[in-house]
Amino acid sequence: MCGIVGLFLKDQSLAPELGNMLTDMLITMTDRGPDSAGIAIYGDGAQGKTKITLQSPNAESDFANLAEDLGKSLGATVTQNDISTHTVLEIPAGQFEAARDALAEIRPDVRIMSRGDTLEIYKEVGLPKDVAERFNLSGMTGTHGIGHTRMATESAVTTMGAHPFNTGSDQCLVHNGSLSNHNSLRRKLRREGVVIQTENDTEVGAAYLTWKMMNGASLGEALESSLDDLDGFFTFVVGTKDGFGVVRDPIACKPAVMAETDQYVAFGSEYRALVNLPGIEDARVWEPEPATVYFWTHNDSTTPSQKAA
Amino acid sequence: MQTYDLEADGLRGMNSILQAQSGETNQTSWEIVNPKGSHAIAVGLDAPIEVTVKGSTGYYCAGMNQQATVHVVGSVGPGVAENMMSGTVIIDGDASQYAGATGHGGLLVIKGNASSRCGISMKGIDIVVHGNIGHMSAFMAQAGNLVVCGDAGDALGDSLYEARLFVRGSVKSLGADCVEKEMRHEHLEILADLLERAGADAKPEEFKRYGSARQLYNFDVDNAAAY
């Protein structure tokens, strides 16, 4: 069992409240996942910069002078913003791979939580309310975000095993369920050059979507093909820089409730997670269909709400 | 009318008060406010009382019900009226997975849609869904009636025993050992009664009946009276 929450804002006047609303939803899902919790949030991004969110078990020593040291290695200006066990670095765009290699040299213990133009991921072991407090999640702002509360079944309870997973720029995925063909798929994806950091099944699901999109698929198409290529139980909620998607396996035994108003699209493992959202009484509330891809985007070239299947 | 504020006064208090009502109670009408998607609301009741839940609920609402009438003015999560023995449960909105699972008796009315596994392993309950039902509904259903005024999803009635399935709309696919059967007069009568009790605006003649082909389990016509 795990808990998933997600919020995609259509009305950007709610952006300052995004962290607050998501945190409330996340803590409500504590019963479904008290092991660890995490949140992916799509906030501000600076032109020409890439954000890297890092975590370290020795944050104090690892983060000391980190921006300066990494800046020297890259020959560029790097900024850092420490939040508890995490820090968000801003590096020049296009330098992520160089930064990853440099970090392995200068700070071998840090782990990369996420990378992207606007995405930041914060996740830790512990009760959702403690994780939320540690990172002051309720104070975060953004256009959309996804949260997860974990009750581990498939791999160890560690920071790296917590969700969301980020396997490509600005992509994130959370999962309720378990995948049964993750070992063979992990080997295949690694051969294809996709970086997979853990033995966790969900990271393989995320890496699969990244690999599909690397090869030209849209998020909708990647989700569609996941129904054929992933074996197991899953309700996935995924984020991209401007999009938000949901898909459930054909058996659909992992719960899912969605709500849509003029202001937002919301996802919860249970309706309980949605009850404090503004205007929920008059929202369209429904259970997403099995084996059906749902996808929303801020990109004006597509319709704001579409069922890609 | 007794009103109970679930958010203010808690779940256990509500269920213990409702479960403590006996057949002689004068407090026959209850209203539960602020359910906010909570689980296990109004479970294990065993008295002829009426409980109205003003809002949507989570898992297992009205489970194990006997005698009581539970009316949810909203939608319900998974497992509504699971293992109901008698009484009536009415849902104004939609129901999630396995509505009425393993129910032995009573009537479950869902005025919206029900999702997957509706009536799974039903053992005598009557279920009337005004809208559609999802896949794998009435899986291994043993007895009782499942009436669907809309459409049914994939694998309806897989491994069915002796429950009767009535569907007005389309059936996406039938499960193993489930077949369409002749609608006889006695079935029309059962259906007319259920539709009336469920407040469904549909005519019995518009439905098709599905049942077990009896190829998967050891059915012997000589034992028909025992089923």
Closest Cα to residue A218, out of A226, A196, A236, A142?
Answer: A226
What interface predicted TM-score (ipTM) does this complex get?
0.92
Q: What is the pLDDT of residues B111-128, one digit of tens each?
A: 999 999 999 999 999 999
Rounded-to-integer distance, Cα A207 and Cα B111, Å: 42
CB contact under 8 A, A286 and B94: yes
- Active-site pick, A1, A2, A58, A246: A2
Active site residue A253: no
Nearest CA in chain A to B98: A253
Query: What tens digit of pLDDT does each residue of A195-236 get?
Result: 999 999 999 999 999 999 999 998 889 999 999 999 999 999
How far apart, in whole angstroms, are the C-alpha atoms of residue A165 and residue A172?
5
Q: Domains plus CATH for chain A? A: 2-43+128-306 (3.60.20.10), 45-117 (3.30.70.100)
Measured N-to-C along each axis, helices A96-106 and A66-74 cross at an angle, to the nearest 10 degrees, of 120
Q: How far is CA A221 from the centre of its chain?
A: 19
Q: Which of A174, A157, A141 is nearest to A17 (CA)?
A: A141
Q: By the 8 A CB rule, do B161 and B212 touch?
A: yes
Closest-CA residue of A relative to B117 is A253
**Residues facing residue B32 across a β-bridge:** B4, B53
* Token pair 């479960």 in the structure block, residue: B19
User: Which residues from A are below 8 Å from B97, CB to CB?
Assistant: 252-253, 255
Per-residue confidence band for B227, with pLDDT thresholds at 50, 70 and 90: low
Instruction: Render pLDDT for B128-142 as a digit per residue (tens, 0 to 9).
Output: 999 999 999 999 999
The 10s digit of each residue's pLDDT in A138-162 is 999 999 999 999 999 878 999 999 9
How do beta strands A49-55 and A294-297 pair? unpaired
Q: Which residue, chain included where needed, has tokens 């489970």?
A: B63
What is the average pLDDT value for chain A, to the nearest integer? Answer: 94
Interchain CB distance below 8 Å, A285 and B134:
no
Q: Is residue A303's pLDDT more than 80?
A: no
Mutation pick from B53, B75, B173 vs chain A, by most beta carbons of A within 10 Å, is B75
Strands A257-260 and B107-110, sheet pairing: unpaired
- In tens, the pLDDT along A57-73 reads 999 999 999 999 999 99
d(CA A98, CA A85): 23
Chain A hits for B96, CB-CB cut-off 8 Å, are: 255, 257, 287
Residue B62 has pLDDT above 90, yes or no: yes
A275:B37 CB<8 A: yes
